[in-house]
Amino acid sequence: MTTTIERHVDIAASPEAVFDLVSDLHGYGRWLPSAGDYEGTSEISPPPVAVGTTYVERSRRGTRRGVVIALARPDVIAFRQPMILRPRFAGTIGSTVSMSVAPTATGARVTRRVELGIPRRLALLRSLIVTRYTRESERMLRSLKSTAER
């Protein structure tokens, strides 16, 4: 079962500046604080970030092993980052995230789109999983806005 979460934020900064923050995986620690579902990005391929760049994100709930699958500055970057759950027998949540940046009259509009593939065995937890991913998208966009507008 696939679920799509889409959130937007308007940022008073150039699309290029916003895109540079989003695409700099090595710099996430400077603007995206750790939280329950995101403890940081590690094991990142050497710069520059490009299609094929890999990384790891760990949390108490599991491990995401991600790869950049699209990159077109300053318009879009996309990641495939399935999350292997803890305990492992719970399965894997499929996840594809795209961040698009579009110019506006006052800066940039960022759209974060998350496509989740939730295993059938987790059907009873589906709304909880979607809520957690939605909150993380909103937290990430708030932090991006705050940093880009400074």
Question: For the segment 52-110, what is each residue's pLDDT rounded down to a tens digit?
Answer: 999 999 988 899 999 999 999 999 999 999 999 998 888 999 999 999 999 999 999 99
Arithmetic mean of pLDDT over the chain = 94
The confidence score (pLDDT) of residue 75 equals 96
Ranking 36-40, 50-54, 92-96, 126-130 by mean pLDDT, the lowest is: 36-40
Tell me the H-state helices in 8-125: 15-23, 28-31
Answer CATH for 2-148 from 3.30.530.20, 3.40.630.10, 1.10.357.10, 3.40.50.300: 3.30.530.20
Question: With 80 as the cut, is the pLDDT of residue 9 above it?
Answer: yes
DSSP state of 38: B
The confidence score (pLDDT) of residue 89 equals 83
Neighbour-count burial for 71-98, b at 16+ CB within 10 Å, e otherwise: beebebbbbbbbbebeeeeebbbebbbb
Axis-axis angle for helices 126-148, 15-23 (nearest 10): 130
In the chain, the amino acid numbered 61 is R
pTM over 0.75: yes
Question: With 90 as the cut, is the pLDDT of residue 137 above it?
Answer: yes
Domains of the chain by residue range? 2-148
| Site of tokens 């932090």 | 143
Q: Count CB atoms within 10 A of the CB of residue 142.
A: 12
DSSP element (H, E) containing 120: none
